[in-house]
Structure 1
Amino acid sequence: MPILDRYLAGAVIGGTLLALGVLMPLLAVFVLTDEISSVGEGGYALSDALWFVTLSMPRYLYQVFPIATLIGALVGLGQLAARSELVAMRAAGLSIARIVRGAMAGGLLLAVGATLVGELVAPAAERHAIAVRASARSGDAVQMSGQGLWARDGHAFINVRRIEAGAALSDIDLFVIEDNRLSIATHARAARYSDGQWLLTEIERSRIGVDRVEVERIERARWDSLLNPRLLKLIVVEPQALSVWGLYRYLRYMQQTEQDAGAHAVAFWTKLVQPLLILAMIFVAIPVLLGSARSSSTGIKLFIGIALGILFYLVSRTFTYLALLYGVSPALAAFAPPLLFTLGALIVLRRVG
């Protein structure tokens, strides 16, 4: 990579890291403030709240990364503009396309880093954070894993593969341990909470004896358990916190069972678009820099970045609501905002050029 490209990429990366260094502590304070109101509920202590906030930060980092990249590009490249370095580059014959290429090189590295955080770190950390909070608040042994929810209910161990909206569960296994051995294994296709109890449907129950196994099939049965809708709210992972592969598997299941998965579909396409969105934010920053005066302060550029970030958030939320309420394609809802901003930046860049 040429020296000037590395220099421009370093400015973008340095500015983004600086923006994240400011945004993440603020987000941590906001999340902790919200969690403090729950301290004292059950066994939920301040140390649990602090640990929950710490584990939640990778998810928030991934979500704010595009906005941090926009602000970081404005600040990092803005410093070059303030020192007339961008002007010197253009006077030396460096084209706007070369400036864009150097900045995009830094954006590509940032996009790879953000994707690794969003796919590998954030989902695992979020599951652990939710398990810590749920266990502390309820006093029960509850854990989220790649195989769904695991919980202990007296002598029974419960595995729920899918937790759906409206207090509904799917693909449930119950294992009863007596005298240090498995005595009953039950599988239910679905369960719904009603009148303080769960109603299991399409049940297959195996009673395991010393020398034989008795299998019975039951259409439906009542089930008393520590799990309830209130506890499920504490342990359900939001669609935005799942990996792309996890969202894809969930969408396939919802399609096979003919259920609505609008929120998960929007989250799936949004995560696919995220790397492109990071690059789009850098592209948006460049015409702002080239079109502003050299004397523009860092504060003004920071204000412009925040204003563009808020505008992008409002536009993206509008398309999300259109997808959820009016059946607009989730792929269109995810791709449209960055495309609109990129198109606007391209028009401004042509005028500046």
Structure 2
Amino acid sequence: MKVIDWYIFRSITKMTFIVCFIFAALSGFIDFISQADDIGIGSYGVYEAVQYTLLKLPSSIFQLMPIVVLIGSLLGLGALSKNSEIIIIMSSGFSLFRLSLSVAITGFIFCFFITIIGEYLSPPMERFADQLRTKSKYNLSTLGQSKGFWLKDENKIININFVSENKNFGELTIFELGEDARINKISKASSAGIDDYNQWILSNLNESTFKESGVESTYSRYKIDKTKLNRDLVSLTVVKSEDLNVIELFRFITYLQTNNLDADQYMASFHSRVASLFVIPIMCLFALPMSLGVQRTRGMGYRITLGVVIGLIYFIMQNTLMESVQIYTINPIFIGWLPLLALTIVTTGLYLIKKN
């Protein structure tokens, strides 16, 4: 039995690695080409573009793994079925359930390694890639991240405590320096944002101006302040869900909920990330009934096309539901698990059809 389990695992793994290599090469090429317009801006050159592309690669592979595993499983099991090897295995006493168990074990092994890539390798590399590109393009330097995020804009030093994906800030403090490098003014906003014209939108702003006669304090409920920082710079401080592993994402959701901030989008992303790991063995299981019966005579082109179509349907459904969280008041937990639930129902239906 273990020999057959290993044989099935090896067949699926071999084809999955080939598909993964092809998808990684295509994704890397597309990412590099997309940097063409940025090459030449500041100190961002070809070398930096290659670095950016390679640093982004683990994230791209992680996002593509469900469709990669599906196509790899279809090709691997399809080859076994076309050569009548699956029929021989089932004739030797392997039931459809036992065969599906071997396929599921393969999927869970994939799931383990994909978790390492997606949760521990991809997030820090994704953050570093974004910082590398923005710093190179605008020749910027940051002053560390001990408490919030520090930026320098000419004679202003800015501390941003928290930034969400829609570029809404939490507490923001601006230290304005004079020619003698002394602090002339401190502006502190309880919340802020940045618009399409690279302007700070400051709310509940307290300003303290230091003069020879003393400190002058003013308060504004709303103020617009221009900045020469490019909008792309904000991406350095944006807390993107894909830049966090599931543990960091869970802690961030707890922080948002504790401070009565909207956490639905991050909650949906958290559950979607967890569900995306469980979808790997389901994709493997989906490929098995599609490789039996009449389907075993199909060629490689058909299996690749089928895998791409099913994968695209899954991704479109997942992304559409994720976007709907921002528009409709739908339970984010339901949104995160619905694509996996739908795929599981379809896969179960295929097994029932094959069994009967």
Q: What is the deviation of 1:238?
A: 3.3
Q: What is the deviation of 1:187?
A: 7.0
The residue type paired with residue 114 of structure 1 is I
Q: 1:197 to 1:309 in 2, by over 3 A?
A: closer
- Assess if the C-alpha contact under 8 Å between 1:131 and 1:144 holds in 2: no
Stretch of structure 1 that moved more, 322-331 or 102-111: 322-331
- TM-score where L is the length of structure 2: 0.83
CA distance in 2, matches of 1:198, 1:324: 22
Q: What is the deviation of 1:44?
A: 2.0
Whether 1:312 and 2:334 are equivalent positions in the alignment is no
Name stretches of at least 5 consecutive residues in structure 2 with no aligned partner.
none
1:57-76 map, 5 Å: 57-76=57-76
The answer for the alignment partner of 1:86 in structure 2 is: 86
1:160-179 map, 5 Å: 160-164=160-164, 167-172=167-172
CA distance in 2, matches of 1:246, 1:45: 33
Q: 1:81 to 1:34 in 2, by over 3 A?
A: same
Task: Describe the superposition over 1:169-192 as per-residue Cα deviations: whole angstroms up to 9, x where unpaired.
Answer: 224466899999999998764334
Q: 1:351 to 1:187 in 2, by over 3 A?
A: same
Task: Describe the superposition over 1:301-347 as per-residue Cα deviations: whole angstroms up to 9, x where unpaired.
Answer: 11111111122223223333443322221211121112112211211
The answer for the alignment partner of 1:301 in structure 2 is: 303
CA distance in 1, matches of 2:15, 2:260: 46
Q: What is the deviation of 1:98?
A: 1.4
1:1-353 map, 5 Å: 2-142=2-142, 149-153=149-153, 158-164=158-164, 167-172=167-172, 189-193=190-194, 196-197=199-200, 199=202, 201=204, 227=229, 229-233=231-235, 236=238, 238-353=240-355
- Assess if the C-alpha contact under 8 Å between 1:265 and 1:330 holds in 2: yes
Name stretches of at least 5 consecutive residues in structure 1 with no aligned partner.
208-214
CA distance in 1, matches of 2:107, 2:144: 34
Task: Describe the superposition over 1:19-58 as per-residue Cα deviations: whole angstroms up to 9, x where unpaired.
Answer: 1111111111111221112222233212211111111111
* Secondary structure in structure 1 of the residue aligned to 2:163: strand
Q: 1:16 to 1:183 in 2, by over 3 A?
A: farther
CA distance in 2, matches of 1:204, 1:300: 66
Q: 1:165 to 1:339 in 2, by over 3 A?
A: closer
- Assess if the C-alpha contact under 8 Å between 1:284 and 1:345 holds in 2: yes
The residue type paired with residue 252 of structure 1 is T
Count of residues paired in the alignment: 347
The residue type paired with residue 149 of structure 1 is F
CA distance in 2, matches of 1:166, 1:306: 31
Stretch of structure 1 that moved more, 84-93 or 4-13: 4-13
CA distance in 1, matches of 2:269, 2:32: 25
CA distance in 2, matches of 1:184, 1:91: 82
Supply the RMSD in Å over aligned alpha carbons.
3.5
The residue type paired with residue 70 of structure 2 is L
CA distance in 2, matches of 1:235, 1:30: 25
CA distance in 2, matches of 1:2, 1:98: 12
Q: 1:350 to 1:165 in 2, by over 3 A?
A: closer
- Assess if the C-alpha contact under 8 Å between 1:189 and 1:202 holds in 2: yes
Q: 1:41 to 1:112 in 2, by over 3 A?
A: same
Stretch of structure 1 that moved more, 144-153 or 38-47: 144-153
Stretch of structure 1 that moved more, 173-182 or 302-311: 173-182
The residue type paired with residue 62 of structure 1 is F
CA distance in 1, matches of 2:62, 2:144: 21
Q: 1:167 to 1:124 in 2, by over 3 A?
A: closer
* Secondary structure in structure 2 of the residue aligned to 1:162: coil
Task: Describe the superposition over 1:120-148 as per-residue Cα deviations: whole angstroms up to 9, x where unpaired.
Answer: 11110011001111101111114896965
CA distance in 2, matches of 1:130, 1:142: 13
- Assess if the C-alpha contact under 8 Å between 1:130 and 1:144 holds in 2: no
Q: 1:197 to 1:93 in 2, by over 3 A?
A: closer
Q: What is the deviation of 1:86?
A: 0.5
- Assess if the C-alpha contact under 8 Å between 1:128 and 1:144 holds in 2: no
CA distance in 2, matches of 1:191, 1:321: 23
Q: What is the deviation of 1:112?
A: 1.0
Stretch of structure 1 that moved more, 237-246 or 6-15: 237-246
CA distance in 2, matches of 1:315, 1:198: 35
Task: Describe the superposition over 1:212-247 as per-residue Cα deviations: whole angstroms up to 9, x where unpaired.
Answer: xxx999756987765453421466353233221232
The residue type paired with residue 190 of structure 1 is S
- Assess if the C-alpha contact under 8 Å between 1:130 and 1:235 holds in 2: no
Q: 1:102 to 1:72 in 2, by over 3 A?
A: same
Q: 1:172 to 1:248 in 2, by over 3 A?
A: farther
The residue type paired with residue 256 of structure 1 is T
Q: 1:306 to 1:183 in 2, by over 3 A?
A: same
